Structure 1
Amino acid sequence: MQIVLRDRNQGPFLTKVLDYAQAEALLDEAQLAEIKSKAVLMSLKLADKFYNQHKMHLLENAAFDVIGVASLGLMSLSNHDLTQAFKLIVAPNGIVKSFQKGWNMLNRVSKYKLNGKSVYGDIDPMLLDKISTPSDADEWQGWQSYQDALLDFNREESIVGLLKQFYAQTTYDPLDCLSLENVFAEIVLYRLFFGPVKVRPDLKQCVAKIELEDVWFSIEHIDQQIKLTLSELPSQLAEIIKLELGKYFTAGLLRTLTFAKNYRELRLQDASPERLERFEYKEGLTGLLGWPVYIVM
């Protein structure tokens, strides 16, 4: 594996650190050779563990993975500071520790992305492909790719937290493609109707059995319900949800509440399932925030 030292600002962070060290006369040939030697050994081990057993024999790809993953870990450990990063990389096993840090970061955010076995163990192969880079790449978007994956991971972890706290059935399947905003909206809507009880897949049936109060149909009242629900959550989860809610979240809930009122009237009129489905589909085309999308058999 060749780590090419060039003057660039957008390439892999590992290369940038070595460029900086060479420019500042901080790195001698022996140190550079040691780093290269360890990187080559890591590439061989990575290829042997994840590639050769699948008959891929892609040592060059393993080298690119090592550079990308080590860059990711080094950026995290050094807080993007080149001076601190250099101190870390020349320390005993510095590049190994950087790689391990980056690998653990990728492992964590891949939790909900794997639908079966990955060639890379517990790492999402599409994410690793975005992180992987040759040392002389003119541009490396690995850190931003990780941040995007981390954002998705936090959303899915937040959905799991909401299901555990507020739903009667807490099993989560990433293939359901639930949005954090919509899950939270369903909680607020369900609790507005039925009080502080566990959310069950019965809203469409039970809505006909309750009286909808006029006071509910106001932005102010819905805002109170949102704040009340948020207050019951751990602070970190509440903050993630606040950031996720769109500017029209409350207005969207009010619109859904108005739809629920009309839906209730149809149920009281013993409307056929087909008519209810057509009404629901028509309204759903323009967005029903928090209205359950499950099919009740």
Structure 2
Amino acid sequence: MEIVLRDSNQGPFLTKVLDYAQAESLLDETQLAEIKNKAILMSLKLADKFYNKHKMHLLENAAFDVIGVASLGLMSLSNHDQAIAFKLLIAPNGMVKSFQKGWSMLSRVSKYKLNGKSIYGDIDPILLDKISTPSDADEWLGWQSYQDALLDFNSEESIVGLLNQFYAQSTYDPLDCLSLENVFAEVVLYRLLFGPIKVRQNLKQNIAKIEFDDAWFTLEFIEQQVEHALSELPSTLAETIRTDQGKYFTAGLLRTLTFAKHYRELRLDNASPERLERYEDKEGLIGLLGWPVYLVM
């Protein structure tokens, strides 16, 4: 492994820290050699653990992974401060601790991304590929890639929280591609129609039994229902949902409620499943915030 020291503002954080230390005359050749040797040893161990059965010829990739993951961990441990990062790096096992921190960060946000086995254990290979970098790369977007993955992870964790709190069936499948906004909107819509009970896949079947009240069809009333649902959630989850809500969340729910009223009328007229489906398609099923997409069998 060759850790190239150069003047760069965009490259891997590990390289930037070493560049900084060299420029400030903080790094001597012995220290640099120790860091390089440790990085080489870590690359060999990583390759032996994950690549030997799959990528025996890609030892270089292991080195890039070490640089990227260690950069990620070092940024987190130092809060992006290069002076603090350098002190951490030259401490005993500083390189190892930085890598371990970065690996644990990636492992956490990979929780819902692994639909099958990964050659990297509990790390999403697509995410690791974005983090991995040669030391002399002109640009490293590893931190932003992690932030994007963290945002997705937090959204999925919030969906799981909503399912556990409000749904009768709380099993979460990432392949369902649910959005936090739509899951919460379905909670508000269902509870408005049926009361404070667990959400089930029976809205379309039972909607004909609901008497719609004209008082429901105002933005103020919808907002009250939203706030009531949020009040039943842990504060952190409620704040995440508030932040995730789009500008037209309440208006979107009102549109869906209006659609639901007409859908009910069709059910009362004994409309065929095909006619109901055509009506959903005409009104823009995907655009109906909170309207369930399950099939009525």
For the criterion TM > 0.5, the same-fold answer is yes
Q: Is the 8 A contact 2:112 2:156 kept in 1?
A: yes
Alignment partner, residue 101 of structure 2: 101
State the SS of the aligned residue for 2:130: helix
Matched with 1:233 is 233
Equivalent positions of 1:75-86 (< 5 A) are: 75-86=75-86
On the 8 A contact 1:47/1:57 being kept in 2, the answer is no
CA displacement, residues 121-152 of structure 1 (integer Å, 9 cap, x when unaligned): 11000100000000000110000000000000
2:175 maps to 1:152: no
Instruction: Output aligned runs, 1:27-46, within 5 Å.
Output: 27-46=27-46
Q: Match of 1:92, as an amino acid?
A: P
SS at match of 2:293: coil
Where do 1:36-185 residues align within 5 Å? 36-185=36-185
Partner letter of residue 7 of structure 1? D
Shift in alpha-carbon separation, 1:151–1:253, aligned structure 2, 3 A: same
| Deviation per residue, 1:242-274 (Å, 9 max, x gap) | 111000000000000000000000001111111
Contact residue 44 and residue 59 of structure 1 kept, 8 A: yes
Q: Secondary structure at the match of 2:52?
A: helix
Counterpart residue type for residue 191 of structure 2: R
Q: Extract unaligned runs of 5+ from structure 1.
A: none
RMSD: 0.8
CA distance in 2, matches of 1:277, 1:126: 37
User: How far apart are 1:285 and its partner, in Å?
Assistant: 4.9
Per-residue deviation, 1:284: 2.2
**How far did 1:295 drift?**
1.2
TM-score by length of 2: 0.99
1:207 aligns with 2:219: no
Secondary structure of the corresponding residue to residue 53 of structure 1: coil
SS of 2:53's partner is: helix
Query: What code does the residue aligned with 1:140 have?
Result: W
The letter of the residue matching 2:20 is Y
1:55: Cα distance to partner? 4.2
- Runs of 4+ aligned structure 1 residues displaced above 6 Å come to none
TM-score normalised according to structure 1 size: 0.99
Q: Which runs of 5+ in 2 are unaligned?
A: none
1:4 match: 4
1:19-38, Cα deviation, whole Å (9 max, x unpaired): 00010011111111000000
In structure 2, the residue corresponding to 1:54 is in which secondary structure? coil
Say yes or no: does 1:18 pair with 2:13: no
Query: How far apart, in 1, do the equivalents of 2:157 and 2:233 lie?
Result: 13
Percent of aligned pairs sharing the same letter: 82
The question of whether the paired residues in 2 share the 8 Å contact of 1:73 and 1:103 is answered with: yes
Instruction: Flag the 1:172–1:286 CA change in 2: closer, same or farther, 3 A.
Output: closer
Q: Is the 8 A contact 2:263 2:276 kept in 1?
A: yes
Deviations 1:142-187, CA, capped at 9 Å, x for gaps = 0000000000000000000000000000011000000100000000
For 1:256, the equivalent position in structure 2 comes to 256
What is the total number of aligned residue pairs between the two structures?
A: 297
Deviations 1:45-92 (A, max 9, x none): 000000012244311000000000000000000000001000100000
